[in-house]
Amino acid sequence: MSQALRDRAAIVGIGASSFGRHLPESQLALAATAFRAALDDAGLERGDVDGLSIHIGWPLGVDYDQVAQAFGLEIGFVNQAWTHGRFVTGSLQTAAMAVACGMARVVACVNVLSFTRERDILGGPHDFEGYRETGGTHAETPHYGLTAPAGGAALAMQRYMALYGTSSAELAAVPVSLRAHARLNPHAVMRAPMSVADHQASRMVVDPLRLFDCCIVSDGAAVVLVTTAERARDLRQRPVLVAGMQGMAAGRNEFIFAPPGLGINQQGAARPPAPAARDLAVYRAADIPRDAIQGLYTYDAFSPLVLFVLERFGFCAPGEAAAFVQEGSISPGGALPLNTSGGLLSEAHVAGWNSLCEMVRQLRNDAGPRQIADARALQWATVWGDSVILRN
């Protein structure tokens, strides 16, 4: 990211629908609820919004033009990504660049998921996108029998366990910690207490991943409004600045659910390397060192992804993340609170946008009992190498 973009864009409004299972509202209705809430949060009118960066639709077919028409918008800038946590960062980055470059005044980042409407489609005979070419939407390879989204993460975790001696009980610290955060969040879907024993007693999904290592299947919407830092100063909320960004990595050494050295294409490779220079570019872009990050947020579709992100971005050395997450390090009050609203594992699966909204609440000091003390710099980072640092 060019330093010329540092602090040029700001998040000025956030909104969400209710989260849950089998919600009666359509995708557009859920999105409209979140959009209205975001406008009210920012003190804006819908006529102020002239850009869309949407993360919505597949496989239910809601596109940007339907969103603009349904919301009564006149749009001059559009970015549309396929619904997946891989595109959270890109959607937000595109919105930030659009306002910084003068292509839009206010961009609404819109994400909706209706997983419980989609369950009969995903992986079934009508899942055309899921079986495109040689694999599926989560790197499934049906011709090898790998048909579950959890499969690739499970294989990567098997290799991690073989290399470093990590146990399933140690991995349990991830979902247990995120459940502790969710118990402080009245909007979280999963708020019942969870212990390591509960985790170990849950059924196996794909070895070594148990039920509580896998994200929630839920419905919900989230909207984030982005404008210039200059305009943000005149709006209702304290602006949250986009301090630094770096893009997603791709190539033969990359895999959707593992860092280099642990993916399904590198099962016979040497041990995973230390973080590459490109994985640390976000700190230079933001002019904020890693040790100044007070909370970490990530796409936690499966528990191992948390360990992998901690190591990819250098919070832990290779093989040391499992030990780090013991004893509450990522729990409320820990050394590095992670996904403080409960994340995909306990709050809801809104493709990670629920965690972006939580970052904004934290930086506004609006997170209530789960507030990180004096939060000033928070990081969104994923296992595939993309990242955004937000600051107040």
C-alpha to C-alpha distance for 286 and 240, rounded to whole angstroms: 13
Spell out the domain ranges in the chain: 3-391
Reported pTM? 0.93
Q: Which helix (H) or strand (E) holds 93?
A: helix 88-100
Rounded to 10 deg, the angle between the 304-312 and 150-164 helix axes is 60
- Amino acid at residue number 50: D
Q: Which one of 3.40.1450.10, 3.90.1150.10, 3.60.15.10, 3.40.47.10 gives the CATH number of domain 3-391?
A: 3.40.47.10
Per-residue confidence in pLDDT tens, the chain, 392 aa: 567 789 999 999 999 999 998 898 988 899 999 999 999 999 999 999 999 999 765 545 578 898 999 999 999 999 988 777 788 899 999 999 999 999 999 999 999 888 776 554 444 444 444 444 454 556 666 666 677 778 889 999 999 999 999 999 999 999 999 999 999 999 999 999 999 999 999 999 999 999 999 999 899 999 999 999 999 999 999 999 999 999 999 888 888 888 888 887 776 667 888 888 888 999 999 999 999 999 999 999 999 999 999 999 999 999 999 999 998 999 999 999 999 999 999 999 998 999 999 999 999 999 999 999 999 999 999 999 999 999 99
Task: Give the angle subtended at the CA of 128 by the CAs of 124 and 132, to the nearest 5°.
Answer: 115
314 CB-near residues (< 8 Å, 6+ apart):
274, 275, 279, 280, 290
364 is written with which tokens? 């506004």
**What are the structure tokens assigned to 301, written together?**
């579709």
Query: How far is the C-alpha of 347 from the C-alpha of 366, rounded, in Å?
Result: 17
Q: How far apart are CA 1 and CA 161, in angstroms?
A: 35
Q: Which amino acid is at 294?
A: Q
Kindly give the interhelix angle for 88-100 and 353-363, rounded to the nearest 10 degrees: 60
- Which residues share a beta bridge with 13? 225
Distance, CA of 28 to CA of 30 (rounded, Å): 5
Residues in contact with 65: Cβ distance below 8 Å, sequence separation at least 6, in sequence order: none
Question: What is the DSSP pairing of strand 204-206 with strand 51-56?
Answer: unpaired
Alpha carbons 98 and 104: distance in angstroms, whole number = 6
d(CA 70, CA 31): 10
231 φ, ψ (degrees, to nearest 5):
-70, -35
Strand residue runs (E) in 57-185: 77-81, 106-114
Q: Can you tell me which residue has the tokens 């642990």?
A: 262
